[in-house]
Chain A
Amino acid sequence: MSKIFEKISKIDRNHLIIIAAVLFVISAFVINWCIRKLKGENQDKGAPEPIKVVKWDGPTVKNTLDDCVKKVINENYSTWKERHTLADGRLFLSVIAVGFAAFALVYDYLYPFPLSKMVLATCSISYFVLMFVLQIYQWYVEKTTFYQAAENDGKNPARYWRWSSEMKRYDDKYTLVAEYTQGSRWGSMKLVKSIASYITEDGEVLLSLLKKDVDYLRDQATSKRE
C-alpha cells in the first residue's frame, strides 16, 4: 500500500490537479445520474415518502420548507411553469470564473512560470473581479428568492412570480413572500409564521398545511389591485 502512496507523491503536483479535475467532472455526472435514479424509483413506489427534517437545524429547515413550497406549487398549480433565470445567471457567472481559473492552470502547466506571468496575472484578477460580481449578484439581484414561475392562463399577459423566504438565526419564524409582476401591474403578500405550524414533533413537514398558506399568499397577492 505504501508503495502506491510513494508513487502518487512522486507524480508532479500539476498532473495531480488535472487528474483531480477530470475525476471531479466524472463524479458530477455520476452523482447527478444517481439522484435521478433515486427520484425515479420513489415515484414508482406510489406513496410519496414523508419529508423529514431535523427540526433544530435552522438553515436546513428553511431550505426544506422552501423545497416544499416549490413542490406544492409545481404539483398543484398547473398553469404555472417554473423559471430558472436567476439560478442560471448564478451558474453562468460561476462557470466563467472557474473557466478563468482552469485556463490559468492549464496555461501555466504548458508554459511554466516566467512565461505565463501575464496570463496568470490577467486570469487571477479576472477571477477575483468575477467573484465580486457574483457576490453583488447574489446580494442585490437574487436576494432571498428561491422560486420563480411564469403563470400563463392563455387570455391575460403572463404573470411572473417570485417567491422568497427568510428565517433568522436561532429563530423559529419563517417569512414567506410572494410577489408577481404582470405587465405594469404588480402585487405582493407576506406571511410570517412559526415553523411549528408546518412541522410535527418528529420533524415531518405537513404539506397540506403548507399548501393552505401558499394558496392564501397567492390569492392575497393577486386580489390587491395595484
Chain B
Amino acid sequence: MGFLDYAIFDEIRRMNSRQVIYQFLNFAMIVSSALMIWKGLMVVTGSESPIVVVISGSIAFHRGDLLMLTMDRDDPIRAGDLTAFKIESRDIPIVHRVIKVHEKSGKDDSKFLTKGDDNMVDDRGLYAPGQHWLTPKDVVGRGKGFVPYVGMVTILMNDYPMLTYTVLGLLGLFVLIHRD
C-alpha cells in the first residue's frame, strides 16, 4: 500500500471506522446541501429550471450571464414580458420578449409571438415547422432577474467536461481526507 503512505494521507490513516464514515457523510452533506438548495429554488420559483445560463447573448444578456426564472401559471402573459420557452424538438430554452398576445376566454387559450431584442424579425423562423404562435404550454419560465458573468463557469464546465471531473474529483478528495 505504498500509495497511502504519503503525508497527506496521514490523517485518514489514523482515523477509525467511525471517523471514516463521518468523512463520507460530510461529503454527502455538502452534495445534499447543494441539491436541497437547488430543489428548494425549484419549489420557490415554481420553475423546473430556476436558474439558467445564457449561451448566445444579445445586447441585454451577454454570454455567461445567469438568469433567474419564475413560473406562475396564473399570471397572464403580457406583451413586454421576457419569457423562456422551449420549441418542440429542441432542448435548450430561448429567452425572448413577447411582442403580441392574443387571448380568448380561458387562460390556457392564449397565443403569443416573441422576438429577440436584438433581432430584426420575430421568432417565427425559430418555431417548429407549421407553428406560428406559442402557447402557455411552451413556456418554462419568466425572466425575473440576472447576475452577470457568473455563468461563465458553467459554460466552461459544459465545453470542457474533463475540467468538471478534475475539479470536482479534487474537491471531493480534499473533503474526504481532511477533518472538519
B39 touches A124 (CB 8 A): yes
B36 touches A104 (CB 8 A): yes
A108 touches B39 (CB 8 A): yes
- Interface size of A by CB at 8 A reads 49
B1 touches A38 (CB 8 A): yes
B55 at the interface (CB under 8 A from A): no
A143 at the interface (CB under 8 A from B): no
Stretch in B13-21, B98-106, B113-121 with 4+ CB within 8 Å of A: B13-21
B43 touches A117 (CB 8 A): yes
* Extra 8 A-B pairs, beta carbons < 8 Å, given A90-B22, A113-B42: A9-B161, A34-B4, A59-B179, A59-B180, A64-B10, A84-B18, A98-B32, A131-B29
Range for the number of chain B residues in contact with chain A = 35 or more
A4 to chain B, nearest CB (A): 10
A5 touches B32 (CB 8 A): no
The 5 A-B residue pairs with the shortest CB-CB distance in the complex, in nearest-first order: A101-B32, A124-B40, A94-B25, A28-B24, A127-B36
Which residues of B come within 8 Å of A, CB atoms? 1, 4, 7, 10-15, 17-18, 20-22, 24-29, 31-33, 35-36, 39-40, 42-43, 48, 158, 161-162, 179-180
Q: Given contacts A54-B7, A108-B39, is CB(A98)–CB(B28) below 8 Å?
A: yes
B106 to chain A, nearest CB (A): 19
A97 at the interface (CB under 8 A from B): yes
A132 to chain B, nearest CB (A): 12
Interface 1/0 per residue, A123-138 and B, CB below 8 Å: 1110110010000000
A5 touches B161 (CB 8 A): yes
Could you give 14 example pairs across A and B, Cβ below 8 Å?
Answer: A17-B35, A24-B24, A35-B17, A38-B1, A38-B4, A38-B13, A59-B180, A60-B11, A63-B179, A91-B18, A97-B29, A100-B36, A101-B36, A120-B40
B43 touches A63 (CB 8 A): no
A35 touches B10 (CB 8 A): no
